[in-house]
Amino acid sequence: MKISMRGLCLAAIATAVIGSSAQQTSDFDPQSHSTFTTDRSDGKYVSSRAIAHNLMVANPPRLHYKSGMNPQEFAAWKDNMATAMRQLMNYPEANISEPPVKVKTVERDGYRVEKWEAYPLEGAVVPYLVMIPDGVNAEHKAPALLCIPGFGQTKELLAGETAVDLDNSTVNPTKNAMGYYYVKEGYVAVVVDNPGCGEPSDIERLAGSGADYVTLSRALLELDWSYLGYTAFVDHYILNWMKTQPEMRSDRIVVSGFSLGTEPLMAIGVTDPDIFAFVYNDFLCTTRERALVMTLPNAHGYRPWPNDISHLIPGFLTMFDFPDIVAALAPRPVICTEGGMDRDFNMVADAFATAGAPDAFSPHHYAMFVEDSSRTYLDEMPKGIDRATFFKLANVDPPHHYFKAEHILPWLRTILAD
């Protein structure tokens, strides 16, 4: 066989996914092909890609939030959301009972950092950090936040630590160090890595290369699992451990996700009623709609897909889109810190009103979109756009994507006041 046939098809993938890496080979005009069209008189499509697209359009999320539910209907809908999410996350049977172990403790200014290891799967180690303010103990418990990083971030970055073994006493809290800001507020911060990045990365780190989320995701997908399923399983395992820790208030556990970390936040949140509140630090993305409208091809005729397979959970988008999941967190307090479409914020707000907790949802826009007049209002995204246009129309300011301490810390003080 040609290596390019059943092989990795490097060239095919490179061109198909990257596109711009190749030379333009024609006077092809991307704009004139921004959406799927057919010139057949019967309106049918020959393009397999168009057929798949139309199938996706014809199968909207079965559990999409609908306004006007009564309390019983809303409760039943939330149960269905949780059931669907459990099926999609496909946690394995817990097959071992080896409890997490504390492997190190270092003192910092006003708090200590403990390094722990969890063993959620046979032969597997998941390291995480626990940041505990001075004076917090079994007698003086504190709220506890599970902190989940964004793409490319590590638990050390979130903790303000500069060494995986914590041996460097110099802390360096950058503006994305959510764990550091939480512990300084007097809360316990439990900080995890995302799978495949940082300490749990594979050997690519030894070669000075960036984390390979994609091949890890492929291995998990072959097992009928997924990157998000594995992430949610591991994070949920640690969250359940948090519920048993003497210095943490099991009735005040908050999940705080940054960017990529908002995905496990949603997966865990909708399936675990024990979580008290949620910090959603990203824009509220309709990820299914984005895949459907971002069809503007590049100069080589390749239409993009908005993200890589670390975001692929087969069937996920046939059940719900992200705003539906955030709506299903009602009435528990949720702060969204980086805007999105008013359409989606209004939908989530409607769910919180339906749940009898209209004040529990705290949406914030990017600074440049705070003024109502500065935002774009759409009932639906236009078709055939590119990534930059999607972000612009969704009121997203990519250069200012960071941990929004200015919104989050005052909000936490309010909801965690008692």
The verdict on whether omega for the bond into residue 331 sits within 30 degrees of 0, i.e. cis, is yes
Separation CA 89–CA 272 (nearest Å): 13
Task: Pick between residue 220 and residue 334 the one whose CB is nearest to a second copy.
Answer: 220
Rounded Cα gap, residues 138 and 183, in angstroms: 16
Under 8 Å between Cβ of 328 and 77: yes
DSSP three-state, residue 128? strand
Cα–Cα distance for residue pair 188/137, rounded to 1 Å:
10
Instruction: Candidates 218, 243, 383, 392: give the one binding a second copy (CB under 8 A).
Output: 218
Task: Please give the Cα distance from 251 to 97 (Å, whole number).
Answer: 24
Map residues 386-405 to x or -, x wherever contact with a second copy holds by CB under 8 A: -x---x----x-x--x----
Closer Cβ to a second copy, 45 or 331, answer by number: 45
3-state secondary structure of 306: coil
* Least distance between a second copy and beta carbon 178 (Å): 15
Tokens of 132: 């505990």
At position 377, the amino acid (one-letter code) is Y
In the window 78-117, what residues touch a second copy (CB under 8 A)? Answer: none
Smallest distance, a second copy to C-beta of residue 175, A: 14
Give least dist CB 34 to a second copy, A: 10
In whole angstroms, give the CA distance from residue 222 to residue 245. Answer: 36
Distance in Å, CB of 19 to a second copy, minimum: 8
DSSP label of 119: -
CA atoms of 370 and 380, how far apart (whole Å): 20
Q: Which of 154, 201, 256, 337 binds a second copy (CB under 8 A)?
A: 201
Q: For residues 31-60, which are near a second copy according to CB under 8 A?
A: 33, 40, 43-56, 58-59
Of the two residues 48 and 97, which places its CB atom closer to a second copy in the complex?
A: 48
Residue 312 or residue 349: which is nearer to a second copy going by CB? 312
**From candidates 41, 99, 206, 379, binder to a second copy by CB under 8 A:** 206
Among residues 154, 245, 259, 286, the one that binds a second copy under rule CB under 8 A = 259
Whose tokens are 């970055």? That residue is 157
Distance CA 393, CA 406 (A): 24
Instruction: Tell me the C-alpha distance between 382 and 105, whole Å.
Output: 53
State the nearest-atom distance from the C-beta of 148 to a second copy, in Å: 13
* CB 187, min distance to a second copy, A: 25
Task: Figure out which of the listed residues 89, 131, 157, 260 binds a second copy, where binding follows CB under 8 A.
Answer: 260
The correct pick among 114, 204, 247, 272 for binding a second copy (CB under 8 A) is: 204
The least distance separating a second copy from the CB of residue 285, rounded to whole angstroms, comes to 7
Which of 152/358 has CB closer to a second copy? 152
Torsion 167-172-177-178 (CA) sign: positive
Burial of 23 (0-12, 13-18, 19+ CB in 10 A): exposed
**Residue 245 or 310: which CB sits closer to a second copy?**
310
Sign for the pseudo-dihedral over CA of 10, 14, 17, 23: negative
Among 74, 128, 180, 230, binds a second copy (CB under 8 A): 230
> Shortest approach of a second copy to residue 350 CB, angstroms?
25
Residue 205 in contact with a second copy, rule: CB under 8 A? yes
Site for a second copy in 310-349 (CB under 8 A): 311-312, 314-318, 338
* Size of interface with a second copy, in residues (CB under 8 A): 113
213 binds a second copy (CB under 8 A): yes
The rounded Cα 63 to chain-centroid distance in angstroms is: 19
Binding mask 278-317 toward a second copy (x if CB under 8 A, else -) reads: ----xx-x-x---x-----x-xxxxxxxxxxx-xx-xxxx
| 58 versus 138: smaller Cβ distance to a second copy | 58
Span 147-186, contacts to a second copy by CB under 8 A: 150-152
Q: Which stretch binds a second copy (CB under 8 A): 18-26, 104-112, 249-257, 269-277?
A: 18-26
Question: Nearest approach, Cβ of 73 to a second copy (angstroms)?
Answer: 26
How far apart CA 99 and CA 70 sit, in angstroms, is 43
| Structural contact between residues 357 and 71, judged by C-beta atoms closer than 8 angstroms | no
β-pairing verdict for 277-281 and 334-336: parallel
Of the candidates 56, 54, 81, 12, the residue with the CA atom closest to the CA atom of residue 267: 81
